[in-house]
Amino acid sequence: MSRFNGAAMIITGAARGIGAATSRLAAAEGARLLLTDIIADELEALRASIVSAGGTARAMVVDASSEAGADAMVADCVAAYGRLDVAVNNAGIMQPEVATVSEASLEMWQRVMAVNLTGVFLCCRAELRQMVAQGGGVIVNMASIGGITGLNGAPAYAASKHGVVGLTRSIALDYARHGIRCNAICPSGTDTPMVEQAGRLVESYIGDRMKTNPGLDPNSLTPAKIQGLLGRNATPEEQAEGILWLASSQSSFVTGITLPVDGGWTAF
């Protein structure tokens, strides 16, 4: 298939995990890519591998939570490719520590919000300005299963991803008249470095709590349904397929939705 033959596409948080898988699949289907991340060496390695396989890709080191960075990446894409057809706002971070609301620091809360919510807002704002000017486009925002459910010990992360869902729906309402579709994808556990880091944090958190309260049920500290009905994590490629379906003309009558790619998590 060539669902993106010649389409100009930005993918943020592209260097690893879901972002890298989405970039490879999009390039194989003909997209002209601008890949952004803060991890310069892995980003460049991804760009080089795509180009060596016959794809078209540029790489740009961008802090997705920066207003100047968001504006600059859109300007670079338009300068290189003449337009911006698809934007995948994938950059984000996990809550860096397991903490309930009463335990959480303001600094941690603000950092998660700055990247996961304000960063998506800034990217969307820059992308929408270009898409309105050119007469259309597609945006896919990275939310999370934590954007439609609660998450034990991760209130900042869950709140930020709920915010992405609300932002996505508002964009869909405001910009449909401009020929712009906007949707969000909500992954559950996926085999990525970020999820592996989160798993280690949770294990450490449970261990600490069990030391101070040996009678505590560890299942009370984590969702029992963490891997959904299928009993495993997703692969990054499975999440990428959902993203690219939302980004393609195959979903041309779909806007304002949150698509759970969650192995049945939300069926519980």
Q: Which one of 81, 157, 175, 205 is the catalytic residue?
A: 157
**Is 81 an active-site residue?**
no
Show the 3-state SS of the chain: CCCCCCCEEEECCCCCHHHHHHHHHHHHCCCEEEEEECCHHHHHHHHHHHHHCCCEEEEEECCCCCHHHHHHHHHHHHHHHCCCCEEEECCCCCCCCCCCCCCCCHHHHHHHHHHHHHHHHHHHHHHHHHHHHHCCEEEEEECCHHHCCCCCCCHHHHHHHHHHHHHHHHHHHHHHHHCEEEEEEEECCECCHHHHHHHHHHHHHHHHHHHHCCCCCHHHHCCCCCCCCCCCCECHHHHHHHHHHHHCHHHCCCCCCEEEECCCHHHC
46 phi, psi to nearest 5 deg: -65, -45
Q: Which amino acid is at 239?
A: Q
CB 261 within 8 A of CB 186: yes
Q: Which active-site residues does the annotation give?
A: 157
